[in-house]
Amino acid sequence: MHSRENIRNIAIIAHVDHGKTTLVDKLLQQSGTFRDNEVVHERAMDSNDLERERGITILAKNTAITYKEFLINIVDTPGHADFGGEVERIMKMVDGVLLVVDAFEGCMPQTKFVLRKALEQKLTPIVVLNKIDRPNARPAEVVDEVLDLFIELGANDEQLDFPVVYASALNGTSSENPEQQDENMQAMYEMIVKNIPAPTESTEEPLQFLVTLMDYNEYLGRIAVGRVNRGIIRQGQAVAVIDRDGKTKQARIEKLFGFQGLKRVEVEQAGAGDIIALAGIKDINIGETIADPNNPEALPVLTIDEPTLQMTFLVNNSPFAGKEGKWVTSRKLRERLYKEIETDVALRVEDTDSPDMFIVSGRGELHLGILIENMRREGFELQVSKPEVIVRTIDGVKSEPIERLIIDVPEDSMGAVMESLGSRKAEMVNMINNGTGTVRLEFLIPARGLIGYRTNFLTLTRGYGVMNHAFDSYGPYHGANVGGRHQGVLVSSENGVSTLYGILSIEDRGILFLQPGAEVYEGMIVGEHTRDNDIIVNICKEKQLTNVRSSGKDDTVKMKTPRLYSLEQALEYLNDDEYCEITPKSIRLRKKILNKNERERAEKNRKNAEASV
């Protein structure tokens, strides 16, 4: 076996917002991959609308750049631990990683998460200290932090001897010296070529190709993306497809694509070490091996982290069902959820006794939130229940997911934040005071304790706090009363349209969630009560006009600003007896049982059942 010297396969890993997608942009632009007159968007790799809006990478993507005589395949991975399913698979495609770390913020929870995956695969790391141009950058301390993290994660001696390159992705500059930047990305290219091993050549051996990513195209159908592990793959070739259970079927490769910049380019054949896309195999799935039909050998099946959070997805049955969406039936909902698990291996979908209800499990709130947001943009109407952590029995002990939480808070709000986390069963494991007026605190906290905490956290820190968390491990169950909402809600008693008069009459009872003129129905949640019990309110009340009470009298009355929820905030806000109704135009909170009398009867029965136990 000799190596294919002119190829380098690398993944870029980093915590959210440390600049990896911007870095890929600059590597692409300076490599001469694009023509001078070609229009290239900023963050060119983030192609999905949601990625552009939120400034995060959700789906792993690959690109190829040419530098001198080298072809460098780069895979941009998601930074959120919720998309760990993507990160794990990418590690099988590459020989090295660029670990991008913010030169001021240093190591964050997701940095640790993605780096652990890379080190487990024995990949060669290069550390990129990005944003070196920030006025308060602290390169020397951050390199020490990274070294400590490598040691903590059990890196071997070769991995500990990592090279460091200092860069400013925004300015498109890099160098091996923290004090002085070169005017281009030359230092970065050289570092990649010099340190990342070339893939080993094994074209004489039987074909093996692991499907790592999936794409879909209306004309070509399902497109499998991955790396040729050994052998040669050709257009029109007959192959064996080995599924995750070891079953084999015959197929033929119709189209084969290599990558050039952000484009797919049709190629006749590819050899070991190449990252390619292929079409023509109808039911191909992630984790399956494409092999030589005369010698079908499967590659090791990808291990995927188990889901930690689940929600119930239901057909929308509110009084407004079918008014705003295109897809409203359980058949369409089921079809869409099962289509999602073909490309998202970290997601699980289970049918229930009811044909209108499905249990969907994922890696976290963001993971499930992105799926719901995509569905509503496609025209779906649905309802979801409160997110619940998945409790497991490990070695006979009831266990729940524990998150590692890192927060940066102003010194003056540290006490209040620590107290609020204490009540959510958080345990402090580290505290760093950089002397800049903000303190970094690190906690281990049950995932249940974080559901719905973000709004409270921002209030306590007056918007100055920054919080990041990632799944750490499963730990012993912390008892029943962790997290959850302490306030009651204002529930509409009528079907109708909210009026200014109706809103003003209940404003002192709590905070409202909607504007005048909004359509409401009985059982819909219209606000948060100032106390811990729910109350029924009439928000549609009209003012009775008489000679004494003229209609213009209210013109000067000012209404308080309502609290309008985003999708993630609405999901976090839910209680056990509530649903979130999601349509292409609206997000509404509602009680599971809409009628007041039926709700009270159900609550009474629940309390009686608990008492008898």
For 421-466, the pLDDT digits (tens) are 888 888 888 888 766 778 888 889 888 888 778 777 888 888 788 7
57 a known binding residue? no
pLDDT at 373 over 70: yes
Give the pLDDT band (50/70/90) at residue 55.
very low
The predicted model gives 509-522 an average pLDDT of: 85
CA dist 517 and 514 (Å) reads 9
pLDDT at 544 over 80: no
Q: What is the pLDDT of residue 54?
A: 40
Q: What is the pLDDT of residue 561?
A: 80
Give every CB contact of residue 13 below 8 A, 6+ residues apart in sequence. Answer: 20, 77, 79, 87, 97, 98, 99, 100, 111, 114, 115, 117, 118
Q: Using one digit for the tens of pLDDT, what is the confidence trace for 461-498?
A: 887 887 777 777 888 888 777 766 777 888 888 888 88
* Residue 48: burial class (beta carbons within 10 Å; 0-12, 13-18, 19+): middle
Q: What is the pLDDT of residue 46?
A: 40
Q: What is the pLDDT of residue 84?
A: 52
596 a known binding residue? no
At 24, give phi and psi (nearest 5°). Answer: -60, -40
CB of 265 within 8 A of CB of 258? yes
Q: Which of 216-220, 235-239, 268-272 has the lowest mean pLDDT?
A: 216-220
Q: Using one digit for the tens of pLDDT, what is the confidence trace for 331-341?
A: 998 988 988 87
Give the pLDDT band (50/70/90) at residue 2.
very low
Q: What is the pLDDT of residue 262?
A: 66
Q: What is the pLDDT of residue 47?
A: 40
Structural domains of the chain ordered from first start: 7-195 (3.40.50.300), 208-291 (2.40.30.10), 392-476 (3.30.70.240), 489-564 (2.40.50.250)
CB of 578 within 8 A of CB of 565? no
pLDDT at 413 over 70: yes
CA dist 190 and 500 (Å) reads 66
Q: What is the pLDDT of residue 304?
A: 65
DSSP secondary structure string, 85-122? HHHHHHTTT-SEEEEEEETTT---HHHHHHHHHHHHTT
The predicted model gives 580-598 an average pLDDT of: 87
Q: Using one digit for the tens of pLDDT, what is the confidence trace for 108-124?
A: 766 776 788 788 888 88
Q: Using one digit for the tens of pLDDT, what is the confidence trace for 318-368?
A: 888 888 888 888 899 898 898 887 767 778 898 888 888 899 988 777 778
pLDDT at 577 over 80: yes
529 a known binding residue? no
Give the pLDDT band (50/70/90) at residue 20.
low
18 a known binding residue? yes
Q: Which of 75-89, 183-197, 585-599 has the lowest mean pLDDT?
A: 75-89
CB of 211 within 8 A of CB of 244? no
Q: Which of 63-67, 291-295, 310-314, 599-603 has the highest mean pLDDT?
A: 310-314
The predicted model gives 120-147 an average pLDDT of: 85
130 a known binding residue? yes
CA dist 197 and 316 (Å) reads 53
Give me the percent of the chain exceeding a pLDDT of 70: 86
Q: What is the pLDDT of residue 414?
A: 86
pLDDT at 125 over 60: yes
Q: Average model confidence (pLDDT) for the chain?
A: 79
| Cβ count within 10 A of residue 193 | 17
Give the pLDDT band (50/70/90) at residue 306.
confident
Q: Which of 32-36, 251-255, 304-308, 420-424 has the lowest mean pLDDT?
A: 32-36
CA dist 262 and 250 (Å) reads 31
21 a known binding residue? yes
The predicted model gives 546-573 an average pLDDT of: 70
Buried b (16+ CB within 10 A) or exposed e, 543-565: beeeeeeeeeeeeeeeeeebeeb
The predicted model gives 143-169 an average pLDDT of: 86
133 a known binding residue? yes
Give every CB contact of residue 561 below 8 A, 6+ residues apart in sequence. Answer: none
Helix (H, G, I), strand (E, B) or coil at 7: strand
pTM above 0.75, yes or no: no
200 a known binding residue? no
Give the pLDDT band (50/70/90) at residue 61.
low
Q: What is the pLDDT of residue 57?
A: 38
CB of 78 within 8 A of CB of 110? no
* Site of tokens 């029109």: 236
pLDDT at 161 over 80: yes
